[in-house]
Amino acid sequence: MRGWVGTLTNGIVRANPTFILLLGLCPTLAVSTSIDNAFGMTASVLFVLLAANVLVAALRRWIPDRVRIPTFIVIIATLVTIVDLALKAFVPPLSKSLGMYVPLIVVNCIILGRAEAFASKNSVWRSIADAIGMSLGFGAAIVLISFFRQVLGSGTLDVFSVRLFSIPGLADNPAAIFLLPMGAFFVLGVLLALFRWMGVSECE
């Protein structure tokens, strides 16, 4: 049980895919303009990574080594297609907002990397912990980035059409640069520096 918990927490802090491993930065920077997008992408990554890890761990003994990467990609692509169709069917506005970055989960280094580096070498139980931990780590990072970008870029914080707060003055004259690509890089850079300053480093 201790090993399972260690695997789970490793992906959240010491091997955070965004702030420590620097993986999956494309969707993180592209869709982190709002908390809604962050939650949507986190849920999508959680489903795909959890299902992919379980399938790869369960089938690893029967997947020939020479075709393991193509097999992993087919598994991931199938799961991403399910997520993409579900978003389009049940939450069209969110699907439109996330755009092409949902299909691009197929080639997300976090998903394929965990399938190859962890799930293909460990049990289903530990692979579940790894998937949840990495997904929560990714989710925490993208939500944190989205929070600062949305608040600084609009002066307000809206979550699923509910306004949580508005900052007087900033709401009337927001720093709109934070909603642009350069704002995403700036916020990411500051948070990366904060992680380094706190002494958080990768755990094998």
CA separation for the pair 2, 23 (Å, rounded): 26
DSSP string covering 113-162, please? HHHHHTGGGS-HHHHHHHHHHHHHHHHHHHHHHHHHHHHHHHSEEEETTE
pLDDT tens figures, 95-153: 999 999 999 999 888 999 999 999 999 999 999 999 999 999 999 999 999 999 999 99
Domain range list for the chain: 2-140
Q: Which DSSP helix (H) or strand (E) runs through 8?
A: helix 2-12
pLDDT tens figures, 22-58: 898 988 999 999 999 999 999 999 999 999 999 999 9
76 and 141 Cβ atoms separated by less than 8 Å? no
Return the amino acid letter for 97: S
Question: 199 or 129, which is more confident?
Answer: 129
Hey, is 64 helix, strand or coil? coil
Global confidence as pTM: 0.90
Q: Which DSSP helix (H) or strand (E) runs through 11?
A: helix 2-12
Cα angle 111-113-114, degrees, rounded to a multiple of 5: 70
Pairing label, strands 162-166, 156-159: antiparallel
Query: What's the pLDDT at 2?
Result: 60
Query: What's the pLDDT at 166?
Result: 85
